[in-house]
């Protein structure tokens, strides 16, 4: 298992870093390709463990994935094995996205339940209820979901009781091939949903309400293959900007959408950083600044994202005074707290609220990544900790950050991968 060795250089991060395509967008668009027979092209694909896993899921179903590492041509012509096995779905929850497209195009499929994740149970009840509302029959047996439909799904109306990105993705995809019109209320409005809607529109379905919580999908009998240019990864951009602020540096993220990270940029401004943005870049300058503590809530988009909660917590651990972060999306997502405290942070947890008392100096130590964003937080903390920080279980980070060490090196951060052959 690989680990990272992070040795502080004593210098703040500075320079420019190019942002890759969004993991969470491409996982949805890859599965949407299965709604049509033929080759859908997806560009700006990030080269990640998760995109490889999704390729494997689609291959098991019978699809071919051609093209280079950053351009996928998803050929769905041979898709006929309508099953996603436990071995794959349990390693990546987004594999569950195949459920919606498969049941709506083929009228049946069998997909493993994803199970829990590193920080909690993470149910899929809303995916299933939404599909049922469109007319699918759902049975859960032996850890698998069996979804069937007698002919085309009738379509229907569904109101998501809470905002869920994944359930919106699944139900929206299923609605495209339904007989009738479907209305999805309180749908998620994350940029990754807009990106999916854009691909679906290119495949020939009519959807009203893009960018709003109310999506009206006029189902069609057949979709044709489409095209998607993957949007920039807002979480990757935010993570590098957290690196800039923790090191009191100045970093410009390019090929990103500053609107997608406005909530984070607003927090940085409140803390006292200087923020500049252009059409496709954002720059944060935290050099020679006395930073102020903040109170933050992780909420659905356009609010501050739960995926940046851990990286921001690392930053706040170095800011004098008392900060607070409350996560309302994933109330148990705090495994990184104990690890950050191993690095000398002073963070206490009560329910879903972390109180962070800024310390003068973090100290390097061996720590363990519990999930993707926790891994990023620990590396970011290691950039400014005294002495070496060893972060183990880096496979979590490899799921969602392309070329991480090289990008860090470009900014002056020293993050070295240690491969453990044992």
Q: Which residues are annotated as a binding site for phosphoenolpyruvate?
A: 23-24
List 6, 13, 27, 217, residue binding ligand UD1 (CB under 6 A): 27
CA atoms within 13 A on the CB side of 301: 21
Candidates 80-88, 157-165, 260-268, 413-421; binding stretch for ligand UD1 (CB under 6 A): 157-165
Q: Which two tokens stand for residue 311?
A: 């990286």
Query: E strands within 67-196?
Result: 72-75, 83-84, 108-112, 137-141, 144-148, 157-159, 181-185
Nearest distance from residue 206's CB to ligand UD1, in Å? 25
Total residues in contact with ligand UD1, by rule CB under 6 A? 21
- Which among 322, 329, 270 has a CA at the least distance from the CA of 297? 329
Among positions 192-221, residues that touch ligand UD1 (CB under 6 A) are 192
* Least distance from ligand UD1 to the Cβ atom of residue 57, Å: 13
3-state helix, strand, coil in the chain (%, to 5): 35, 25, 40
122 dihedral zone (left: phi>0; alpha: psi -120 to 50; beta): left
- Interface map 298-337 toward ligand UD1 (x if CB under 6 A): -------xxx---------------------xx-------
295 binds ligand UD1 (CB under 6 A): no
Question: What is the DSSP track for 302-330?
Answer: TSB-GGGHHHHHHHHTTSSSEEEEEESSS
The answer to whether 233 and 51 have CB atoms below 8 angstroms apart is no
Q: With respect to ligand UD1, which residue has the nearer C-beta, 173 or 343?
A: 173
**Nearest approach, Cβ of 218 to ligand UD1 (angstroms)?**
25
Q: Could you check whether the bond before residue 302 is cis, i.e. omega within 30 degrees of 0?
A: yes
Query: Is residue 162 at the binding interface for ligand UD1, with CB under 6 A as the rule?
Result: yes
Q: Which stretch binds ligand UD1 (CB under 6 A): 39-47, 122-130, 254-262, 376-384?
A: 122-130
Strands 137-141 and 157-159: unpaired
Measured from the CB atom, is 168 or 277 closer to ligand UD1? 168
Interface residue with ligand UD1, options 65, 126, 217, 397 (CB under 6 A): 126
Q: Classify 228 as helix, strand or coil.
A: strand
**Residue choice 164, 176, 230, 263 for contact with ligand UD1 (CB under 6 A):** 164
Measured from the CB of residue 309, what is the shortest distance to ligand UD1 in angstroms?
Answer: 9
Place of tokens 């209820």: 129
Six-digit token string for 261: 């990270």
Residue with tokens 């807009």: 194
* Residues with catalytic function: 117
- Contacting range for ligand UD1; rule: CB under 6 A; set: 74-82, 124-132, 216-224, 258-266: 124-132
Rounded Cα gap, residues 238 and 310, in angstroms: 11
The whole-angstrom separation of Cα 414 and Cα 391 is: 13
Question: What residues are designated binding site?
Answer: 23-24, 93, 122-126, 307, 329
Among 87, 125, 185, 208, binds ligand UD1 (CB under 6 A): 125
Asked if 48 interacts with ligand UD1 (CB under 6 A), we say no
The binding site for ligand UD1 (CB under 6 A) comprises 24, 27, 93-94, 122-127, 162, 164-167, 192, 305-307, 329-330
């Amino acid at each position: 298992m690989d680990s990272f060795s992070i040795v502080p250089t004593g210098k703040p991060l500075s320079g420019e870093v190019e942002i890759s395509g969004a993991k969470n967008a491409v996982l949805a668009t890859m599965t949407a390709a299965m709604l049509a027979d033929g080759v859908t092209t997806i560009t700006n694909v990030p080269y990640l463990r998760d995109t490889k896993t999704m390729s494997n899921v689609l291959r098991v179903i019978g699809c071919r994935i051609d093209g280079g590492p950053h351009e996928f041509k998803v050929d769905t012509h041979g898709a006929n094995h309508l099953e996603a096995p436990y071995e794959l779905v349990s390693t990546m929850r987004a594999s569950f996205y195949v459920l919606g497209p498969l049941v709506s195009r083929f009228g049946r499929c069998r997909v493993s339940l994803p199970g829990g994740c590193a920080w909690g149970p993470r149910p899929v009840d809303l995916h299933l209820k939404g599909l049922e509302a469109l007319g699918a029959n759902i049975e859960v047996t032996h850890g698998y979901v069996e979804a069937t439909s007698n002919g085309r799904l009738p379509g229907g109306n569904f109101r998501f009781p809470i905002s869920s990105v994944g359930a919106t993705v699944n139900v929206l995809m299923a609605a495209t091939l339904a007989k009738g019109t479907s209305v999805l209320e309180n749908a998620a409005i994350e940029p990754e949903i807009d990106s999916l809607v854009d691909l679906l529109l290119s495949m020939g379905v009519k959807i009203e309400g893009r960018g709003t919580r109310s999506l009206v999908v006029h189902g069609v009998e057949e979709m044709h293959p489409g095209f998607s240019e993957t949007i920039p990864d807002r979480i990757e951009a935010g993570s590098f900007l957290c690196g800039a602020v923790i090191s009191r540096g100045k970093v410009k993220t390019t090929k990103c959408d500053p609107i997608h990270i406005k909530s984070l940029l607003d927090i940085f401004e409140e803390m006292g950083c200087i923020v500049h943005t252009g059409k496709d870049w954002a720059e944060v300058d935290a050099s020679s600044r006395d930073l102020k503590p903040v109170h933050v809530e992780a909420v659905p988009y356009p609010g501050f994202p739960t995926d940046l909660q851990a990286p921001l917590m690392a930053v706040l651990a170095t800011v004098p005074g008392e900060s607070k972060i409350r996560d309302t999306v994933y109330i148990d997502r705090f495994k990184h707290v104990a690890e950050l405290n191993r690095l000398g942070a002073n963070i206490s947890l009560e329910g879903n609220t972390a109180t962070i008392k800024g310390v003068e100096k973090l100290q390097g130590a061996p720590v363990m990544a519990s999930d993707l964003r926790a891994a990023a937080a620990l590396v970011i903390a290691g950039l400014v900790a005294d002495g070496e920080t060893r972060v183990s279980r880096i496979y979590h980070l490899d799921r969602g950050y392309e070329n991480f060490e090289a990008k860090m090196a470009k900014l002056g951060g020293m993050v070295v991968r240690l491969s453990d052959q044992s």
